[in-house]
Amino acid sequence: WARAVRGLLLDVSGVLYDSGGDGGVPIAGSAEAVRRIKASGLKLRFCTNETQATREKFVKKLQGMGFDISVAEVTAPAPAACRILKERSLRPHLLVHNDLVPEFAEIDKANPNCVVIGDAAENFTYANLNEAFRVLIGMEKPVLISLGRGRYYKETDGLKLDVGAYMKALEYACDVQAEVVGKPAKMFFESALAEMGVPPQQAIMIGDDIVNDVGGAQRCGMRALQVRTGKYRPCDENHPDVKPDAYVNNLAEAVDIILQQL
């Protein structure tokens, strides 16, 4: 699985670091692994479903942890959603984290004709969910755009419910199918590959989410590894539908194996 690789796609939370209320902590060896990838000449994209901050703020946090990363190297859901909103003349009602709102600064939000939901964290109150429900249920053809569909993620103090759980609640209540922007959407991975200029058969995705990272990448024709960090649980190794090309203990181990094949 490690042969003939030209590009790597890295998940961020759970692969590079564990998030948390204190900003989070880097996973051992991950910052050095990123430096080694860049020194090797391999193409690199950071593919994240992070929707609790703008890319600029998110990248600044990672740089403070010692990661060699720039905004231009990050593929994230919010900018992709903004492109869709503009192309389709959609005006969103936002149910997102306060720190993500600046990503939508140039989007018309008056008289909403769709709902955009992200990982709103503390903003996932009954009142806020009910307001989004009322916007959707009042539409003749409701449009729900979700910035990912993750079930949960890991922070330093434990597992946390992710946007997918709340997306499903709105889908059920409004009898609507959400349009997912972000992993595991095929368009999201294809965008990252295009930005690298690497075909899927020459790329490897490394993530901690068996469904969204591994399964999503494999459906695009990529190889995909699951790290045993972040949200990984031993039961992932018996998943009925998704079988990673390999399991690795962490990003550093994956990079060791890949660079040995160059």
Per-residue confidence (pLDDT) for residue 262, from 0 to 100: 87
CATH topology for 7-49+184-260 is Rossmann fold (3.40.50)
Per-residue confidence (pLDDT) for residue 159, from 0 to 100: 92
Phi-psi region of 53 (alpha: psi -120 to 50; beta: other; left: phi over 0): beta
CA atoms of 213 and 205, how far apart (whole Å): 7
CA atoms of 76 and 90, how far apart (whole Å): 19
Question: Model-level pTM?
Answer: 0.90
How does the average pLDDT of the chain come out, rounded?
96
Q: What does the domain layout of the chain look like in residue ranges?
A: 7-49+184-260, 87-180
CATH topology for 87-180 is Rossmann fold (3.40.50)
CA atoms of 210 and 240, how far apart (whole Å): 11
The residues near 199 (Cβ < 8 Å, ≥ 6 apart) are 193
Residues 88-128: tens digit of each pLDDT:
999 999 999 999 999 999 999 999 999 999 999 999 999 99
Fold matches, 7-49+184-260 and 87-180? yes
Both tokens of residue 214? 């591994």
Is cis: bond before 244, omega within 30 of 0? no
Residues 230-243: tens digit of each pLDDT:
999 999 999 999 99
The residues near 89 (Cβ < 8 Å, ≥ 6 apart) are none
Residues 41-90: tens digit of each pLDDT:
999 999 999 999 999 999 999 999 999 999 999 999 999 999 999 999 99
